[in-house]
Amino acid sequence: MKETVVVGMSGGVDSSVCAYLLKEQGYDVIGVTMQIWRPENACDVSDNGGCCGLSAVDDARRVAEVIGIPYYVMDFREKFQKSVIDHFAAQYVRGRTPNPCIECNRHVKWEALLRKARDIGADYLATGHYARIIQLENGRYSICASKTAAKDQTYALYALTQDQLAHTILPIGEYEKSDVRRIAEDAGLPVAHKKDSQEICFVPDGDYASFLEKEPGLTVPGPGDFVTPSGDFIARHKGITHYTVGQRRGLGVAAGERIYVTNIDPETDRVTLGSDDDLLTSVVTAEDVCWMGIEGITEGMQVRTSAKIRYNHCGEYGVLENAGEGRVRVIFDKPVRAAAPGQALVFYDESGTYIYGGGTIIR
Amino acid sequence: MTEMIYLDNAATTKLESCALDAMLPYLTELYGNASAVYEIARKSKKAVFDSRRQCARLIGAAPNEIFFTSGGSESDNWALIGAYEAYRRKKGTCGHIVTTSIEHHAVLRTAEYLESQGVSVTYLKPDSEGFISVSQVGKAIRPDTFLISVMTANNEIGTIEPVTEIADAVRSVRKDILIHTDAVQAYGQIHLENIAGKVDLLSASAHKLGGPKGTGLLYIRDGIKFPPYIRGGMQESGRRSGTENIPGIVGFGAAAEAALNELDDKILLETGLRDFFFGKIREIPDVLINGPGPDDSDLARLPGNISVCIKGIEGESALIMMDREGICASSGSACASGAREPSHVLKAIGRADDEAKGSLRFTLSHHNSREEIETAAVKLSEIVLKLRDRR
């Protein structure tokens, strides 16, 4: 009997080709688009190429029609609100810089969607991520870099569990982006030339601060002080949600040298501005750790790693150790720049190929 | 592909062959514009007249009280907006509407729109079986009430509302209130031959009774002042302009005539199938029936409607699994994207969010066979078992 796979289709070229490839490989493929928008803002985003508006549904539906697979839209609005948007807002208000794709992958795609997929009798969930799944010698599954170095979407997948990985297929990891577009073109998929989505899907204009102000029931912190690293007052600022560690533009402060946001303190609403050097740090600590390629590390143990502190970071060598209280830290060989609390620290094997695990940066 | 079993007739119906046959000449050689002078135009004109008569008979109306529209949604929009405009012109104020919280969105969204224009709206809450009572309506009436809009039968849970009783009661105290009913789900499904005259306005749609999509009607009682909805070439007595959709209107008339001629047989057949299906579904543990209970003797429920909440499963998953078995059903209402909508009707009759997630609606037609229902019931209980097992 054919194995059944649910493909999460965003209407973009990668997930469309993913569905096409699996159909070609002989799977019984079911296409699904997750509806994650609340109804009142469905119209605002439909034209923006954001990943799951109504136009995305239309694109995905057309692709499914061309490939010849059944296609459904599933309602995940409540789950997305609770697991992704509420978390995103809460983190911002705490002065952190969250990565909502991680939460969406973890709680919406690989918890809710995979569960639904298995509910309806599917064996696997597949997505169009540029990443691969490998089984290591120790028997564990891990997320491994895709064939192409130009596209790497492993970072936001660090929180998947072993059971989730065992029921996941990532066919796009075997291809270059140009291959994917060519396959789409050859197969006559109507999205072959659609451009990639960039910003966070529910804030298509990238204006997080005004998005947060519109969130019902959320108290957004008001103005506070810009201060120097030694605590001296510089000027007033618009409120901590307007700033991110490492930010240089839009501060509205004139200074002789280039200045950056180096720290955000939600307790005092103070935003520290400092020099480029003040952004450098050798030790990054993370909590809420998920283990993937290895089972964990005991206290006193040291493991060589290549670790990333943000999505487009290319990785830096260092030593991974247990920091107690369920936390880990990476001591980098060379200091890294602008490690922002709320982003993920993802540690790979030393060659940077597959994921050991990851956690949320606290400092 | 496996043989399809179609159990979603409240969403739309298969075009009856009599309707198709009636339409075909008007899609081919008889293409004349009904407003023109030559022979094929006169044939079109006559065809529209015949359809108007056929459609009027179902509700006991006169042909000149039937105004063809593009469908149920347009009719509902027109009924509410037209009543508002008429009142506004006369009194210069915005006034008040009484409707219910379980109306179709075509009524609810229009009511919300009128609220944004300054109209105040009372949304009556139904009881646990979906009924709106005569006394509820009576109590909600205010001096500035100009319209009451209560649906004839609910699209999700099949409850048949006491519309004529409501109309009689309102009439006995107030002559100046217009009474509208959205009969989209009831027209051609139950006897409505006495409803015209009791109500002032009634919406119906062709594709729910075996007619084509894209055609509907608004009944406007003779003698009431009611403004036009689309202005232009004065078609439909100047109230709804635009070149007539002749094939659609002809198909509507043919389907309406067939529905009326076969109505008693249809009701008997569908009721039998429905109760048989209910019996089978009740063998599944933890199932709640939405709408009037099937044990009532004088059941005020649409003949073909089955609506249930199955505890411990998600209706969305069950629908997909049924689709994979070739069974077409619904969870009640869907939004444009095709995703499930949280049902305002199930909420209104007191279903908890978790229960409402497990909702399924099957709507039967006289084309269904007992074997189909038997197969559907077996598949459904297998699917429920699987879904509960996986939790």
Domain ranges of chain A: 4-129+170-186, 221-274, 279-361
Q: What is the identity of the amino acid at A321?
A: E
> Does any CB of chain B come closer than 8 Å to the CB of residue A40?
no
Using the predicted structure, report yes or no on whether residue A243 has a pLDDT greater than 70: yes
Using the predicted structure, report yes or no on whether residue A50 has a pLDDT greater than 50: no
Mutate to test the interface with B, among A75, A82, A114 (most CBs of B within 10 A): A75
What per-residue confidence (pLDDT) applies to B189?
97
Q: What is the CATH number of domain B17-261?
A: 3.40.640.10
What per-residue confidence (pLDDT) applies to A47?
42
Write the residue in B321, B323, B339 that is nearest to A74 by C-beta. Answer: B339
| Average pLDDT, integer, range A79-98 | 92
Using the predicted structure, report yes or no on whether residue A194 has a pLDDT greater than 90: no
Using the predicted structure, report yes or no on whether residue A303 has a pLDDT greater than 70: yes
What per-residue confidence (pLDDT) applies to A125?
98
Q: Cβ of A57 and B337 within 8 Å? A: yes
Write the residue in A42, A54, A119 that is nearest to B390 by C-beta. Answer: A119
Mutate to test the interface with B, among A30, A65, A73 (most CBs of B within 10 A): A73
| Average pLDDT, integer, range A11-38 | 93
Using the predicted structure, report yes or no on whether residue A15 has a pLDDT greater than 50: yes
| pLDDT (tens digit per residue) in B231-240 | 999 999 999 9
Least confident of A232-236, B260-264, B328-332: B328-332
Q: Provide ipTM, 2 decimals.
A: 0.82
CA-nearest residue to A116 within chain B is B317
Smallest Cα–Cα separation from A332: which of A262, A264, A285, A276? A285
Residues in CB range of B145: below 8 A, 6 or more apart: B95, B96, B97, B98, B174, B177
Question: Three-state DSSP class for A335?
Answer: strand
Contact indicator for A11, A33 with CB cutoff of 8 Å: yes
Give the strand pairing for B96-100 and B145-149. Answer: parallel
CA A173 to centroid of chain Cα atoms: 16
Q: Annotated catalytic, A201? A: yes
Average pLDDT of the residues of chain B: 94
Which amino acids of B are annotated catalytic?
335
- Residues of chain A found within 8 Å of residue B390, distances taken between Cβ atoms: 118-119
Q: Cβ of A72 and B320 within 8 Å? A: yes
B268 to each of B6, B262, B264, B280, how far by Cα in Å? Answer: 19, 10, 6, 19
Quote the percentage of chain B above a pLDDT of 70: 95
Using the predicted structure, report yes or no on whether residue A283 has a pLDDT greater than 60: yes
Quote the percentage of chain B above a pLDDT of 90: 90
Least confident of B30-39, B132-141, B218-227: B30-39
Write the residue in B317, B323, B339 that is nearest to A116 by C-beta. Answer: B317
Third-level CATH fold of B5-14+263-389? Aspartate Aminotransferase, domain 1 (3.90.1150)
Least confident of A50-59, A130-139, A197-206, A318-327: A50-59
Smallest Cα–Cα separation from A128: which of A285, A240, A21? A21
Least confident of B15-29, B146-160, B347-361: B347-361
| Average pLDDT, integer, range B192-208 | 97
Residue B141 buriedness (CB in 10 A; 0-12 / 13-18 / 19+): middle
| Average pLDDT, integer, range B245-258 | 98
| pLDDT (tens digit per residue) in B85-117 | 999 999 999 999 999 999 999 999 999 999 999
Confidence of residue B29 (pLDDT cuts 50, 70, 90): very high
Q: What is the CATH number of domain A4-129+170-186?
A: 3.40.50.620
Task: Give the sheet arrangement for strand A260-265, strand by strand.
Answer: A233-237, A224-227, A270-274, A260-265
Quote the CA–CA distance of A46 and A58 in Å, as a whole number: 10
Chain A: give the shortest CA distance to residue B298, in Å.
Answer: 38
- Residues of chain B found within 8 Å of residue A36, distances taken between Cβ atoms: none
Write the residue in B317, B338, B339 that is nearest to A120 by C-beta. Answer: B317
Contact indicator for B32, B43 with CB cutoff of 8 Å: yes
Contact indicator for B245, B51 with CB cutoff of 8 Å: no
Q: Cβ of B337 and A35 within 8 Å? A: yes
Using the predicted structure, report yes or no on whether residue A308 has a pLDDT greater than 90: yes
CA-nearest residue to A121 within chain B is B321
Confidence of residue A249 (pLDDT cuts 50, 70, 90): confident
Domain over A221-274 is classified CATH 2.30.30.280: yes
Q: What is the identity of the amino acid at B203?
A: S
- Helix, strand, coil in percent for chain A, rounding step 5: 30, 30, 40
Whole-structure pTM value: 0.87
Using the predicted structure, report yes or no on whether residue B181 has a pLDDT greater than 90: yes
Confidence of residue A234 (pLDDT cuts 50, 70, 90): very high
Choice between A27 and A37, residue whose per-residue pLDDT is larger:
A27
Tokens of B64: 């000149």
Quote the CA–CA distance of A348 and B240 in Å, as a whole number: 69
Chain A: give the shortest CA distance to residue B75, in Å.
Answer: 25
What per-residue confidence (pLDDT) applies to B337?
58
- Active-site entry in A51, A201, A290, A314: A201
Choice between B271 and B3, residue whose per-residue pLDDT is larger:
B271
Confidence of residue A48 (pLDDT cuts 50, 70, 90): very low
Superfamily, domain A279-361:
Translation factors (2.40.30.10)
Q: Cβ of B335 and A118 within 8 Å? A: no
CA-nearest residue to A4 within chain B is B324
What per-residue confidence (pLDDT) applies to B338?
64
Give the start-to-end residue ranges of the domains of chain B.
5-14+263-389, 17-261
What per-residue confidence (pLDDT) applies to B77?
98
Contact indicator for A212, A241 with CB cutoff of 8 Å: yes
Chain B: give the shortest CA distance to residue A74, in Å.
Answer: 5
A219-226 contact pairs (CB < 8 A, 24+): A219/A93, A220/A93, A221/A93, A221/A266, A221/A269, A222/A269, A223/A269, A224/A268, A224/A269, A224/A270, A224/A271, A225/A268, A225/A269, A225/A270, A225/A271, A226/A251, A226/A253, A226/A270, A226/A271, A226/A272, A226/A273
Chain A: give the shortest CA distance to residue B219, in Å.
Answer: 33
CA B169 to centroid of chain Cα atoms: 23
What per-residue confidence (pLDDT) applies to B184?
98
What per-residue confidence (pLDDT) applies to A213?
87
> Does any CB of chain B come closer than 8 Å to the CB of residue A235?
no
Least confident of A5-19, A238-252, B130-144, B253-267: A238-252
- Active-site entry in A52, A101, A104, A144: A104
Residues in CB range of B81: below 8 A, 6 or more apart: B110, B113, B114, B229
Q: What is the largest CA-CA distance in chain B?
A: 69
The alpha carbon torsion through A180, A184, A190, A191 (nearest 10 deg) reads 0
> Does any CB of chain A come closer than 8 Å to the CB of residue B336?
yes
Quote the CA–CA distance of B343 and B341 in Å, as a whole number: 6
| Average pLDDT, integer, range A81-91 | 93
Q: Cβ of A73 and B323 within 8 Å? A: no
| pLDDT (tens digit per residue) in A134-164 | 999 999 999 999 987 778 899 999 999 999 9
> Does any CB of chain B come closer than 8 Å to the CB of residue A163?
no
First to last CA, chain B: 29
Quote the CA–CA distance of B348 and B350 in Å, as a whole number: 5
| Average pLDDT, integer, range B114-141 | 97
Choice between A205 and A130, residue whose per-residue pLDDT is larger:
A130
Q: Cβ of B339 and A120 within 8 Å? A: no
B278-281 contact pairs (CB < 8 A, 24+): B278/B306, B280/B373, B280/B374, B280/B377, B280/B380, B280/B381, B281/B306, B281/B308, B281/B377, B281/B380
> Does any CB of chain A come closer than 8 Å to the CB of residue B386?
yes
What per-residue confidence (pLDDT) applies to A44?
43
Quote the percentage of chain A above a pLDDT of 70: 95
| Average pLDDT, integer, range B195-207 | 97
Smallest Cα–Cα separation from A20: which of A251, A141, A156, A182? A182
Write the residue in A35, A70, A118 that is nearest to B390 by C-beta. Answer: A118
Count, residues in chain A: 363
Average pLDDT of the residues of chain A: 90
Confidence of residue B48 (pLDDT cuts 50, 70, 90): very high
Write the residue in A54, A57, A119 that is nearest to B387 by C-beta. Answer: A119
CA-nearest residue to B323 within chain A is A70
Chain A: give the shortest CA distance to residue B310, in Å.
Answer: 15
CA-nearest residue to B335 within chain A is A39
> Does any CB of chain B come closer than 8 Å to the CB of residue A73?
yes
Residues in CB range of A217: below 8 A, 6 or more apart: none
